[in-house]
């Protein structure tokens, strides 16, 4: 009827979309063929950049074309003044930003951007940091952006403490962020090194604050695994001691647990009491490691290392706790189960008993959420 717009049927719409796709595919194929031919002929000109830009705008993951663009840039560097190269790189960075809008996790785009910044006569690293912050606000788990940000931070001479504060902000925004926790594990030994330990050791006061932060996260959401991974890494940094005490005239060897480990066990037990349906394997594993052979495994390690001096009257450092027990779970946030009982290999002349050490009252916790349920821990762990 007159005055009414004809509405296409479903079949007509599908046919129109098919023709449109075929048209785009034809242009894409023809343009790609022209680029290959120009590369074969060694034509490193502006048209090569223009043609490859058209294809990459639609498909940022076309690695061959990024390689070709780098060849063109290297060719122009030999025949152009620095000012022209600087302007060319600025335009390339703008184009790369548009490509990231299409695919923020394109490896080829991030790698080419890093190459351009190295190639550029006068790079602006502060602008690159702002770009990273922008894309991390879109997706805080974009590990390509995190990798590029670490590279940019080194070039911009940003202090580790500033980056540590940045990771704290990202965790408070969303603690279900593996990348932020992992970045934190790299920065913590640099900012708060333990002078009495190795390069991976952390000062005790800073370590306890990190335990609080991780505990706040997994009490807020016990099912989220990101904080549990970081918690396991923290256990590997703990500088506790395993004391093996033997009194003369008694065939009994007493093993004293690490006070930090005892405190973390208490928090996990409380969590499992409050959340009986919680199936998170990390909290359950930490509890079971203490109940099923954790001490025996440490003592067996001590027997294996006793040498000619024997065990009597000696205090064995935290390395016994780490090697074969905690260290495997702390490096690279491994998921390997380290709870294995080895009591059968210990000489039967000894009997073992656990002795708990007195623990200090936990410090006031920094809550991620005002409604954080872990505040009840304060009265429980005293």
Segments making up each domain of the chain, as ranges:
13-121, 124-156, 159-289
The domain made up of 13-121 has a fold known as: 1.25.40
Could you say which DSSP state residue 243 is in?
E
Could you say which DSSP state residue 326 is in?
I
Whether 253 and 311 have beta carbons less than 8 Å apart is answered as yes
Query: According to the model, what pLDDT value does residue 374 have?
Result: 38
Query: According to the model, what pLDDT value does residue 220 have?
Result: 82
Residue 238's Cα: distance from chain center in Å?
20
Could you say which DSSP state residue 105 is in?
T
Helix, strand, coil abundance in the chain, percent, nearest 5: 65, 5, 30
Q: What is the pLDDT of residues 119-169, one digit of tens each?
A: 999 999 999 999 999 999 999 889 999 999 999 999 999 999 999 999 999
Segment (H or E) for 260: helix 259-274
Residue position matching structure tokens 């911009």: 156
**Distance, CA of 250 to CA of 372 (rounded, Å):** 48
In Å, what is the CA distance from 66 to each residue of 28, 98, 128, 151, 323? Answer: 16, 15, 20, 20, 46
**Distance, CA of 286 to CA of 317 (rounded, Å):** 21
| Closest C-alpha to 39, from 26, 31, 47, 48 | 48
Rounded to 5 degrees, φ, ψ at 244 are: -110, 110
Residues of the chain with pLDDT under 50: 239, 241-243, 253, 257, 290, 292-382
**Distance, CA of 256 to CA of 245 (rounded, Å):** 8
Whether 60 and 106 have beta carbons less than 8 Å apart is answered as yes
Query: According to the model, what pLDDT value does residue 369 have?
Result: 45
Architecture of domain 159-289 in this structure: Alpha Horseshoe (1.25)
Q: Hey, do 13-121 and 159-289 end up sharing a CATH topology, with the first three levels equal? A: yes
Query: According to the model, what pLDDT value does residue 163 have?
Result: 94
In Å, what is the CA distance from 86 to each residue of 89, 285, 314? Answer: 5, 56, 66
Q: At what angle do helices 281-291 and 226-237 cross, to 10 degrees?
A: 30
Q: Please, what is the Cα angle at 343 between 338 and 349, to 5 degrees?
A: 155
| Closest C-alpha to 169, from 206, 209, 140 | 140
DSSP 215-230: HHHHHH-TT--HHHHH
Strand partners, 202: 193
The Cβ-side half-sphere exposure at 362, using a 13 Å CA radius, reads 27
> Side by side, which strands form the sheet with 242-246?
315-316, 242-246, 252-256, 351-355
Query: According to the model, what pLDDT value does residue 203 have?
Result: 83
The contacts of residue 377 (CB under 8 Å, 6+ apart) are 215, 219, 267, 270, 362, 365
Could you say which DSSP state residue 242 is in?
E
Query: According to the model, what pLDDT value does residue 330 have?
Result: 41
Q: What is the pLDDT of residues 244-302, one digit of tens each?
A: 555 555 555 455 545 666 666 777 777 766 766 665 555 555 555 545 444 444 444 44
In Å, what is the CA distance from 254 to each residue of 221, 295, 313, 322, 368? Answer: 37, 10, 11, 19, 39
Query: According to the model, what pLDDT value does residue 314 have?
Result: 37
């Amino acid at each position: 009827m007159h005055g009414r717009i004809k509405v296409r049927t479903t079949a007509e719409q599908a046919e129109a979309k098919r023709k449109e796709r075929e048209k785009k595919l034809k242009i894409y194929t023809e343009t790609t063929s022209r680029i290959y031919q120009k590369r074969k002929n060694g034509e490193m000109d502006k048209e090569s950049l223009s043609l490859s830009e058209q294809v990459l705008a639609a498909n940022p993951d076309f690695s061959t074309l990024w390689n070709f663009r780098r060849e063109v840039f290297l060719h122009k560097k030999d025949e152009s003044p620095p000012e022209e190269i600087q302007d060319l790189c600025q335009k390339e960075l703008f184009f790369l930003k548009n490509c990231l809008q299409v695919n923020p996790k394109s490896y080829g785009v991030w790698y080419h951007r890093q190459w351009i910044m190295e190639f550029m006569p006068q790079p602006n690293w502060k602008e690159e940091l702002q770009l990273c912050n922008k894309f991390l606000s879109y997706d805080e788990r974009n590990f390509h952006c995190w990798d590029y940000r670490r590279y940019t931070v080194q070039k911009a001479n940003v202090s580790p403490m500033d980056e540590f504060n940045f990771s704290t902000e990202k965790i408070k925004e969303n603690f279900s962020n593996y990348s932020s926790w992992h970045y934190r594990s790299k920065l913590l030994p640099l900012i708060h090194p333990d002078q009495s330990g190795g390069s991976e050791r952390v000062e005790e006061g800073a370590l306890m604050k990190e335990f609080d932060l991780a505990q706040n996260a997994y009490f807020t959401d016990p099912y989220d695994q990101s904080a549990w991974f970081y918690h396991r890494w923290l256990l590997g940094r703990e500088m506790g001691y395993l004391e093996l005490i033997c009194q003369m005239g008694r065939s009994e060897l007493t093993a004293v647990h690490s006070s930090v480990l005892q405190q973390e066990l208490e928090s996990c037990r409380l969590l499992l009491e409050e959340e009986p349906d919680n199936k998170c394997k990390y909290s359950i594993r930490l509890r079971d490691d203490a109940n099923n052979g954790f001490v025996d495994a440490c003592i067996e390690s001590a027997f294996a290392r006793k040498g000619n001096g024997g065990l009597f009257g000696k205090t064995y450092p935290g390395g016994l706790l780490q090697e074969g027990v905690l260290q495997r779970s702390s490096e690279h946030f491994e998921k390997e189960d380290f709870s294995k009982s080895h009591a059968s290999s210990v000489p039967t002349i000894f009997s073992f008993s656990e002795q708990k050490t007195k623990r200090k009252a936990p410090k006031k916790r920094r809550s991620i959420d005002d409604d954080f349920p872990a505040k009840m821990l304060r009265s429980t762990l005293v």
